C-alpha cells in the first residue's frame, strides 16, 4: 500500500499534493488549459513557484503523475501475471488482456482521485507533444513489458508490425473507454446504467477479440507489398 500522505516528509508531501492537483485539473480542463500557477493554487501552495521548483516543467510534472499511478498499477499487474505463470495452465489472450485492464480499473476505483487518473490519461495519450512510447518505457513499466511478451507468445500468427499497431489501438481504446465510463458516472442525469463489472469484462472481450482477429486478405496484401520493397 502507498505510504500515507501524513507520514511523508514535507518535500514528498508537497510533491504528492502537486501531482494530485495537476492530475485533477488536467482531467477536467485538458493539459493545455492548465497553468503551473493554477496547479499551485489547487494544491494550496503559497509559493507561486512550487510546481516549477519541484518538477521544472509541465512535461516533467505529467511524467511524474504517470509514474505515481504506474507504481501501483505495475505492482498489481506483476502480481496477476505471476499468478498466471505459476498456475501451470495455458495463458490465453484474454488472460493477458485482463492483466492489462484490471490493474488500471483497480487504480481508478481505489479512491476518489483514481477517477481523475483515467481522465488525465485520456488527455495525455491524445496530446500531440507527448510521446506515448516514451511513457511506456519509463519506470514501473515491467508489468506491461511482460504482458506484451506473453500476449505476443499467445498470438504467434500475428506479425510483429501488425501486433504493435493493434496494441497501440487497443491501449487507446482501453483508456478512452474507461475515461468515458468515468465521465458518464459523473453526469447527474446518467442514463448509462451498465453494471461496472459487466462493462469491464466486455471491454476485455473486445480488446482480446481485436488483438486475435485473423489478418484479412487485404491486410496480408499490404504486408507482402512492404516486404517486397
Question: Which H or E run contains 124?
Answer: helix 112-125
Q: How many CB atoms lie within 10 A of CB 189?
A: 4
Any idea what DSSP says for residue 47?
S
Any idea what DSSP says for residue 5?
G
Question: Which H or E run contains 211?
Answer: helix 196-212
CA dist 165 → 12, 62, 120, 168, 188 (Å): 38, 24, 23, 5, 37
φ and ψ at 214, to 5 degrees?
Answer: -60, 145
Q: Say what the pLDDT of residue 1 is.
A: 41
Q: Say what the pLDDT of residue 127 is.
A: 83
Q: Which three cell numbers stand for residue 196?
A: 461496472
Dist CA 5 CA 149 (whole Å): 35
Q: Say what the pLDDT of residue 5 is.
A: 47
Q: What is the pTM of this model?
A: 0.87
Asked if residues 163 and 64 have their Cβ atoms less than 8 Å apart, the reply is: no
> What pLDDT tens digit does each residue of the chain (229 aa) get?
444 444 567 778 899 999 999 999 999 999 999 999 999 999 999 888 899 999 998 888 998 999 999 999 999 999 999 999 999 999 999 999 999 999 999 999 998 888 899 999 999 887 877 776 777 677 778 999 999 999 999 999 999 889 999 999 999 999 999 998 887 776 655 555 668 889 999 999 999 999 999 999 999 999 999 888 7
Q: Say what the pLDDT of residue 4 is.
A: 47
Dist CA 105 CA 149 (whole Å): 22
Q: Say what the pLDDT of residue 2 is.
A: 46
Amino acid at each position: 500500500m502507498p505510504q500515507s500522505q501524513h507520514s511523508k516528509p514535507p518535500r514528498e508531501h508537497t510533491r504528492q499534493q502537486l501531482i494530485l492537483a495537476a492530475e485533477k485539473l488536467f482531467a477536467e480542463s485538458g493539459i493545455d488549459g492548465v497553468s503551473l500557477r493554477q496547479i499551485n493554487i489547487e494544491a494550496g501552495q503559497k509559493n507561486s513557484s512550487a510546481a516549477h521548483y519541484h518538477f521544472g516543467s509541465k512535461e516533467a510534472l505529467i511524467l511524474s503523475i504517470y509514474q505515481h499511478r504506474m507504481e501501483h498499477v505495475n505492482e498489481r499487474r506483476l502480481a496477476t501475471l505471476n499468478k498466471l505463470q505459476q498456475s501451470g495452465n495455458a495463458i490465453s489472450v484474454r488472460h493477458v488482456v485482463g492483466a492489462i485492464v484490471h490493474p488500471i480499473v483497480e487504480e481508478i476505483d481505489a479512491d476518489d482521485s483514481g477517477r481523475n487518473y483515467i481522465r488525465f490519461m485520456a488527455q495525455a495519450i491524445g496530446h500531440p507533444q507527448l510521446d506515448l512510447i516514451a511513457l511506456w518505457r519509463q519506470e514501473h513499466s515491467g508489468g506491461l513489458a511482460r504482458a506484451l511478451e506473453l500476449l505476443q507468445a499467445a498470438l504467434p500468427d500475428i506479425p510483429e508490425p501488425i501486433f504493435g499497431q493493434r496494441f497501440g489501438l487497443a491501449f487507446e481504446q482501453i483508456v478512452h473507454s474507461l475515461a468515458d465510463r468515468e465521465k458518464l458516472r459523473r453526469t447527474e442525469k446518467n442514463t448509462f446504467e451498465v453494471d461496472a463489472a459487466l462493462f469491464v469484462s466486455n471491454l476485455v472481450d473486445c480488446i482480446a477479440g481485436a488483438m486475435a482477429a485473423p489478418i484479412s486478405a487485404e491486410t496480408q496484401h499490404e504486408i507482402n507489398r512492404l516486404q517486397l520493397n
